[in-house]
Structure 1
Amino acid sequence: MKIVVIDDDPTGSQTVHDCLLLLKWDCSTLVKGFESKSNLFFILANTRSLSENDAKFTIEEICKNLKTVIGSKAYEEEIIFISRGDSTLRGHNFLEPSVLNSCLGPFDATFHIPAFIEGKRLTINGSHFVDKTPISQTIFAKDKIFGYETSNVKNLLFQQSKSQINFENIQNLLLSDIEVLNNEENNIIFKKLKNLKNNKHVIVDIENYSQLKKFSLVITKLIKHKKFLFRTAASFISSISEKKSVSQSAIFFSSLRVRNKEKSFLPGLIIVGSYVELSTIQLNHLLEISNCDPVELDVFEFFKITSSENYQKRRNLFKNKFLKEIRYSFEKGKTPVLFTSRKFMSLDSSELFNFYNILACFIAELVADLKYEIGYLISKGGITTNLILSNGLNADYVYLERQILTGISVVTCNLKNGEKLPIVTHPGNIGTKDSLVNIWKVFENKK
């Protein structure tokens, strides 16, 4: 069995380990994924940062190449397709699986499993919760682009489909159903799943890994005869692949840090692009450390530059200013922390998509100029991280090592000078107030 995860940002691999994360989806790169030793690989589509039209085009392009590769190589093993989405319900939750069904289907059913157990995001009686709080009452529901007003996943999916799904065709698999579920042919819930057809949408309740395991065992048996699609958060990927996150010592991660020719450690660089409240709290705690140098990128100033007549000249001056400031931090023996100012832009959703991508591309350019000067990179925020990997480091793929903290991965990227740069891919909405501090301490060998 090969599991292909089409991820809407680069952090969905946060519950598994030792696999490829593809940043490009041309046929030759996809072949690397299928021929890799792991039973799964990720395609980092970054569609959460795109408008609906651009996301649709991207998924269609990925599907076209997947069909070409699968057809030409005549893979005989079962292939499971997972559309990985956000555990806080942001993103194109209806659009992406709908396009996958059109291009790679038809599927008998699409299972929606937004539970992320490690982050206390659970689905109970069809409603989604963050640490026991209905998700519609959290800051995630107020997202400027993907905001919503309901915690009921069925209602949200129906709303996001703009009535393209018949409300009665969305079913629930409740905790009471999972309690009696097993993989025996005569089990009433097993039969219910086996009889699904015509791409029924099923919302799956999950509050712990034992329930996920039971569900995954049934899916593994049914997949030989049924064609299922999944729109899920990260926990299901861990369960179905049986590659649950394995803890590693701090020494494992600190030893990944790149050294110079004199065998001394190169300095680290921390980037915080995410603007959610938790990111700001983590950033403020990090900046209390005297050895971390704050380097603030004013988003309003950058917006003015992008709108100016002599845009390219002003942009280059702006870029050189930050490169100079970051390199000065290196010279002082400090860790520069480049962060976007904590201000919201009053733009409509399409303008926001465009601006945040331009901003992330600018940050990626800074990393491109600094990549041979740093020993490690900590990047917080999905859109920023994806563009750093694909544009800044120009990587076809990166290798997922392990999780340095719960839900926070470390990947390594092969640089052209032969070094492997370790990068922490830190989701914006994950961790405690001390997460950034603790990760920095690991790489700096500080207790």
Structure 2
Amino acid sequence: MNPAGHASPDAAGTLSGTLPSWLAPQATDPALLGQLRNGNGRCRLVVLDDDPTGMQTLYGIPVVLQWQQGEIRAALQQDWPAVYILTNSRSMDAATAAATVRDVMRRLVTAAQELGLQLRVVSRSDSTLRGHYPLETDVMAEELSDVHPVAGTLLVPAFIEGGRVTHGGVHYLIENGTPVPVGQTEYARDPAFPYRASSLPDWVEEKTGGRVPAAQVPVLPLHLLREGGPTAVAAWLQRLPVPFVAAADAVCQGDLEAIALGARLAEAAGVNVLFRTAASMVRALAGLEDCGPLPPARLTSARSRAGGLCVVGSFVSRSSEQLTQLLALPDVHATELDVGRILGGETAAEVTRVAAELNAQLGQGRHVVLYTSRQLHTGHSADRSLDIGRQVSTALTDAVRQLKVEPGFLIAKGGITSHNVALHGLNVHVAQVLGQALAGVPVWTLGPETPFPGLPYIVFPGNVGGPSSLVELFAALQAQRQATPDAP
């Protein structure tokens, strides 16, 4: 199945099909990956993620959702390839996002100092350029200033598995085998995080309100990192005036690995880089190989005899396309959460109705799709639009919190939805990233603090997959349940 819906990653970790020559395959270098894995044992790679879908390329790492009771310190005590801290700040207004990131950073710095560890911190955000930039990287750099001073920020939004690439400083989304400048896609019209520019230097100028002019945002070109490798990348970074904001071309995983090792070499020379990236760059920084998708047997409950549950909250057009196909499957019970009732003050009654329906249908062994009505409600401002999204997501979460029946499998569609379902609906403190259900679709294992310990939790991003990706995954899980003894 192709992760972008049209162009497929090949074995070299790039994209193939009817594409420009600059997207030609470039193999990854196993020796380079080995150098990335064999880093300083007293250094921790820590990723602050503004959305729960950002573990899209990883496995064998913890993701911390609650950090008030020493969870960060406990995660740092083990030498994981990376530690994810989920801020979910993309769902917040700017002031709340800044306060949340500052709180996490202060706890992180304190824990690292107490444990005698160094930090390598990454800001993981959206591959289609939505989110609180430059607010988050500004706060992170400020909080690191006394312990790990940052020379500058490097923007690497390429997400290879999802068909997002950068070339000539322009960020693209691969659609129908054609690179489309991201400023021309629906994501640039996001009501909370709109923008116009596809060129990363122009985007920086736009998002900083002119504080950082485009002319002062250098771009690491593809030819330099491919011809010169990590050494050339390190030299390029060391030549930049401090403090800098820069961007990097990347069209395949091998490009990202060269950037990662180059940054490591620059760090050894005293140039500490704060990355603002998508998920593929984190896999490179952690030195992890591609492990491929997990088999359906790893994605279902070993205990439950109930039906599976898919919760769909995302309103992007791709999610709605996928939902339409999902609801057309036989033997699937559709449960619609009425957004109009939620916004009209009838939240409690609507949640009670939905929760009762979920428990009844799952308990009878039926597979259920819980989804929000598809009319998009936006506010008069970006903050009001975010607030509407929170209201709707909270209602979904409240319905999940009233589950009395463990689902045979569990999918959450959309970033804000999957975070709130995990944190508030399932009381997740720390989960483990098991791998991917599909390219770009992470799977967590729920911890002992949750009502369903060990249950795989599939976090399906709103903007990932082709029109049939969700229905194909759901159908595979249905088939797995039918083939499992004593399962429905």
Q: TM over 0.5, yes or no? A: yes
What is the CA distance between 1:444 and its match in structure 2? 2.3
Superposed CA offset, 1:130-175 (max 9, x none): 0101111111112111121121111111111122324443211111
Matching residue of 2:289 = 244
> Is the contact made by 2:359 and 2:404 (CA closer than 8 Å) also made in structure 1?
no
Equivalences for residues 3-22 of structure 1 within 5 A: 3-22=45-64
State the distance in 1 between where 2:386 and 2:409 align. 28
What is the CA distance between 1:395 and its match in structure 2? 1.4
User: Which of 117, 120, 130 is 2:173 aligned to?
Assistant: 130
State the distance in 2 between where 1:35 and 1:375 align. 33
Superposed CA offset, 1:244-292 (max 9, x none): 34125524424x41424xxxx3321110000000001110111111211
- The reply on whether 1:407 has 2:437 as its aligned counterpart is no
Equivalences for residues 344-363 of structure 1 within 5 A: 344-347=376-379, 348-363=381-396
What is the CA distance between 1:119 and its match in structure 2? 1.1
> Is the contact made by 1:258 and 1:419 (CA closer than 8 Å) also made in structure 2?
no
State the distance in 2 between where 1:343 and 1:110 align. 38
Equivalences for residues 93-108 of structure 1 within 5 A: 93-105=133-145, 106-108=149-151
> Is the contact made by 1:23 and 1:396 (CA closer than 8 Å) also made in structure 2?
yes
Structure 1: which 5+ residue stretches go unaligned?
Answer: 306-313
| One-letter amino acid of the structure 2 residue matched with residue 279 of structure 1 | S
User: Which of 93, 116, 120 is 2:163 aligned to?
Assistant: 120
Superposed CA offset, 1:33-57 (max 9, x none): 2123422010110011011111111
State the distance in 1 between where 2:407 and 2:446 align. 13
State the distance in 2 between where 1:164 and 1:317 align. 48
State the distance in 2 between where 1:330 and 1:168 align. 57
- The reply on whether 1:206 has 2:250 as its aligned counterpart is yes
> Is the contact made by 1:56 and 1:99 (CA closer than 8 Å) also made in structure 2?
yes
Distance of aligned partners of 1:345 and 1:315 in 2 relative to their CA distance in 1, 3 Å threshold: closer
User: Which of 41, 44, 56 is 2:98 aligned to?
Assistant: 56
Matching residue of 2:421 = 388
| One-letter amino acid of the structure 2 residue matched with residue 120 of structure 1 | G
User: Which of 352, 366, 381 is 1:334 aligned to?
Assistant: 366
| One-letter amino acid of the structure 2 residue matched with residue 190 of structure 1 | A
Matching residue of 1:433 = 467
> Is the contact made by 2:311 and 2:369 (CA closer than 8 Å) also made in structure 1?
yes
Distance of aligned partners of 1:74 and 1:415 in 2 relative to their CA distance in 1, 3 Å threshold: closer
User: Which of 302, 315, 329 is 1:289 aligned to?
Assistant: 329
What is the CA distance between 1:297 and its match in structure 2? 1.3
State the distance in 1 between where 2:302 and 2:135 align. 41
Distance of aligned partners of 1:249 and 1:11 in 2 relative to their CA distance in 1, 3 Å threshold: closer
What is the CA distance between 1:63 and its match in structure 2? 1.1
> Is the contact made by 1:272 and 1:381 (CA closer than 8 Å) also made in structure 2?
yes
State the distance in 1 between where 2:141 and 2:363 align. 53
Distance of aligned partners of 1:217 and 1:371 in 2 relative to their CA distance in 1, 3 Å threshold: farther
User: Which of 47, 68, 82 is 2:122 aligned to?
Assistant: 82
Percent identity, aligned pairs only?
Answer: 28
How big is the alpha-carbon RMSD for the aligned residues of Structure 1 and Structure 2?
A: 1.9
SS in 2 for 1:444: helix
Equivalences for residues 171-250 of structure 1 within 5 A: 171-184=218-231, 187=232, 189-224=233-268, 225-250=270-295
- The reply on whether 1:276 has 2:276 as its aligned counterpart is no
| One-letter amino acid of the structure 1 residue matched with residue 243 of structure 2 | N
SS in 2 for 1:216: helix
> Is the contact made by 2:444 and 2:458 (CA closer than 8 Å) also made in structure 1?
yes
State the distance in 1 between where 2:162 and 2:293 align. 19
Matching residue of 2:348 = 316
Distance of aligned partners of 1:284 and 1:215 in 2 relative to their CA distance in 1, 3 Å threshold: same
What is the CA distance between 1:332 and its match in structure 2? 4.3
> Is the contact made by 1:8 and 1:46 (CA closer than 8 Å) also made in structure 2?
yes
State the distance in 1 between where 2:227 and 2:353 align. 62
After the TM superposition, list the runs of 4 or more consecutive aligned residues in structure 1 that deviate by more than 6 angstroms.
none
What TM-score results when the alignment is normalised by the length of structure 2? 0.84
Matching residue of 1:366 = 399
Matching residue of 1:423 = 457
Distance of aligned partners of 1:153 and 1:63 in 2 relative to their CA distance in 1, 3 Å threshold: same
SS in 2 for 1:401: strand
